């Protein structure tokens, strides 16, 4: 048990976001995207950014109450209107060689009671406009980072039996522990962790499995892997050589499935909070890479609208392996936030694949990328399928199988 004060942990966390997450270089500008409820953390990031040599650090604010009011009260026919300046700000910073840190924190079921068609229309419109920026992100053309921070509505969902103040305190403790911000030398701890993840991703890339097969808990899914695939984990490099860690926390190794070689049934092991709607009990069947059946015990309408975004959202863009013994899993907490929950369990993602998961993918045309098995889509949504019951096999090119995970743990 350490004796760090809350203020010290908050400063550690801000340093991690700037130095390990964004990998900010002296002279770079930084855009921070933050909910108003996380203002103290956003301000700490600004201070850490200037301490690291930022030329300019600016904040773009979001507010759940404003978002909810629109979806509840705005007139029909207006949800194809978006604030283009918000996306333009991201592109402006990226094109200027800057970095972006997004504090992802919202009420997980904020939009659960509003018209799903309104949400779907807005999300489709925003994704189409954001596509050029999303392409930069998925090709690592800028150094970017996702972190999170407590907000009252989210904290109360995690800790429903506590007062709002106690729930936020507990959520801070959980986030500090999950991100190693509660350690005396969090940057050093992260450097060691990233080294371990790098060794795992290099071992998996060298295997060049034709596919991986998941079995357990109602799932029996074979995921073919893209030709010349590369496993990712931990940190990455921009074309100019800046090292950054896109997600803090991160416990996963991931790669690109082959868009036409996924078959079987997969069942979620944790709920998914998607665009303010909670989706639970997901069961999806694939044939020849394409979703042919999808149900959910909660949020099924939202799930189906997400799948109908475009042709690519009927297919997979990511497969990721996470040990059941990861710190987030062993905490016993469910965060209702994909940034955390995807690091508690192996998972898959519907939608676009990362260009960096195919050798030379950043320079390919969409047609060339898809010929390798990569997937193109306006969306990318991770959801959790791993558990202590899950076994994963690697399928070699000769058709033979070898164990990669047993009972949710790596044995490779």
CATH of residue 78: 3.40.1830.10
212: domain range? 186-410
209 & 102 share domain: no
- Same domain? For 112 and 38 the reply is yes
CA dihedral of residues 23, 28, 31, 36 (deg, nearest 10): 80
Given a contact cutoff of 8 angstroms between Cβ atoms, the answer to whether 143 and 23 are in contact is yes
Instruction: Please state whether beta strands 391-395 and 211-216 pair in parallel, antiparallel, or not at all (unpaired).
Output: antiparallel
Last residue of a domain, one of 151, 178, 205: 178
Do 208 and 153 reside in the same domain of the chain? no
Going edge to edge, which strands form the sheet with 29-35? 56-62, 29-35, 99-103, 144-147
Count the helices and strands in the chain (H runs, E runs).
Answer: 12, 21
Flag residues of the chain having pLDDT under 50. 1
Half-sphere exposure of 394 (CA within 13 A, CB side): 18
Last residue of a domain, one of 160, 178, 196: 178
State CA 146 to chain mean position distance.
Answer: 8
| 310-351 per-position pLDDT tens digit | 999 999 999 999 999 999 999 999 999 989 999 999 999 999
Q: Look-up: residue for tokens 């058709």?
A: 399
The answer to whether residue 139 sits within a structural domain is yes
| Domain contains 262 | yes
d(CA 70, CA 73) in angstroms, rounded, equals 5
Provide the token pair at 264.
């079987």
Handedness of CA 287, 293, 299, 304 (dihedral sign): positive
**Integer Cα distance of 219 and 152 in angstroms:** 35
Cα gap 255→198, rounded to integer Å = 13
Contacts of 350 (CB under 8 A, 6+ apart): 291, 306, 307, 313, 314, 315, 316, 317, 377, 379, 380, 381, 383
Same domain, 398 and 345: yes
CA distances from 159 to 116, 164, 300, 336 (A): 27, 9, 25, 11
Identify whether residues 166 and 203 lie together within a single domain. Answer: no
Cα–Cα nearest to 117, from 310, 244, 285, 304: 304
SS3 282: coil
CA distance 311 to 144: 27
Instruction: DSSP letter for 174, please.
Output: H
**Structure tokens, 95:** 């094109």
The residue from 134, 161, 178 where one domain ends is 178
Segment (H or E) for 136: helix 116-138
Residues 42, 147: one domain?
Answer: yes
Closest CA to 78 of 104, 52, 113, 117: 117
Say what the pLDDT of residue 2 is. Answer: 67
Q: Confirm whether 1 is domain-assigned.
A: no
232, 146: one domain: no
- Residue 158 belongs to some domain of the structure: yes
- Tell me: do 157 and 280 sit in the same domain: no
User: Could you tell me which of 156, 147, 69, 60 has the C-alpha nearest to residue 107?
Assistant: 156
Is there a single domain that holds both residue 63 and residue 126? yes
The answer, as to whether pTM is greater than 0.85, is: yes
- In a shared domain, residues 16 and 126: yes
DSSP 8-state secondary structure symbol assigned to residue 268: -
Q: Please state the domain count of the chain.
A: 2
Identify whether 311 is part of a domain: yes
Residues 46 and 145 in one domain: yes
Q: Are residues 173 and 246 in the same domain?
A: no
pLDDT score recorded for residue 277: 87
Task: Classify residue 333: in a domain, yes or no.
Answer: yes
Q: Is 372 within a domain?
A: yes
Residue with tokens 């164990």: 403
Contacts of 359 (CB under 8 A, 6+ apart): 228, 229, 230
DSSP three-state, residue 231: coil
């Amino acid at each position: 048990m350490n004796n760090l004060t809350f203020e010290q942990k908050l400063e550690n966390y801000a340093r991690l976001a700037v130095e390990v997450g964004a990998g900010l270089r002296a002279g770079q500008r930084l855009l921070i995207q933050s909910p108003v409820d996380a203002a103290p953390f956003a301000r700490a990031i600004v201070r850490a950014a200037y301490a690291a040599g930022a030329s300019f650090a600016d904040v773009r604010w979001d507010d759940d109450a404003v978002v909810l009011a629109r979806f509840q009260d705005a007139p029909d026919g207006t949800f194809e209107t978006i604030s283009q300046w918000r996306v333009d700000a991201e592109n402006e910073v990226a094109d200027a060689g800057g970095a972006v840190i997004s504090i992802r924190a919202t009420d997980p079921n904020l939009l659960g009671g509003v018209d799903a068609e309104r949400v779907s229309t807005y999300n489709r419109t925003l994704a189409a406009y954001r596509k050029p920026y999303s392409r930069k992100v998925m090709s690592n053309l800028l150094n970017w980072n996702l972190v999170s921070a407590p907000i009252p509505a989210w904290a109360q969902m995690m800790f429903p039996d506590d007062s709002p103040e106690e729930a936020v305190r507990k959520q801070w403790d959980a986030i500090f522990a999950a991100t190693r911000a509660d350690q005396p030398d969090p940057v050093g701890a992260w450097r060691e962790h990233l080294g371990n993840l790098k060794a795992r991703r290099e071992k998996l890339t060298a295997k060049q499995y034709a596919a991986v097969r998941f079995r357990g808990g109602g799932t029996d899914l074979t995921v073919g892997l893209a030709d010349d695939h590369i496993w990712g984990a931990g940190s990455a490099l921009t074309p100019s050589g800046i090292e950054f860690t896109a997600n803090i926390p991160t416990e996963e190794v991931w790669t690109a499935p082959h868009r036409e070689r996924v078959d079987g049934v997969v069942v979620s092991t944790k709920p998914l909070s998607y665009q303010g709607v909670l989706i639970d009990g997901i069961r999806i069947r694939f044939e020849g890479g394409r979703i042919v059946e999808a149900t959910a015990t909660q949020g099924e309408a939202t799930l189906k609208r997400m799948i109908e975004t475009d042709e690519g959202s009927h297919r997979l863009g990511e497969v990721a392996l996470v040990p059941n013994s990861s710190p987030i899993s062993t905490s016993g907490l469910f965060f209702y936030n994909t940034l955390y929950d995807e690091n508690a369990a192996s998972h898959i993602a519907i939608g676009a694949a990362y260009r960096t998961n195919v050798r030379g993918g950043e320079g390919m045309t969409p047609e060339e990328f898809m010929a390798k098995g990569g997937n193109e889509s306006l969306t990318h949504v991770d959801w959790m399928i791993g558990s202590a019951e899950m076994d994963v096999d690697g399928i070699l090119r000769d058709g033979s199988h070898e164990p990669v995970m047993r009972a949710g743990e790596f044995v490779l």
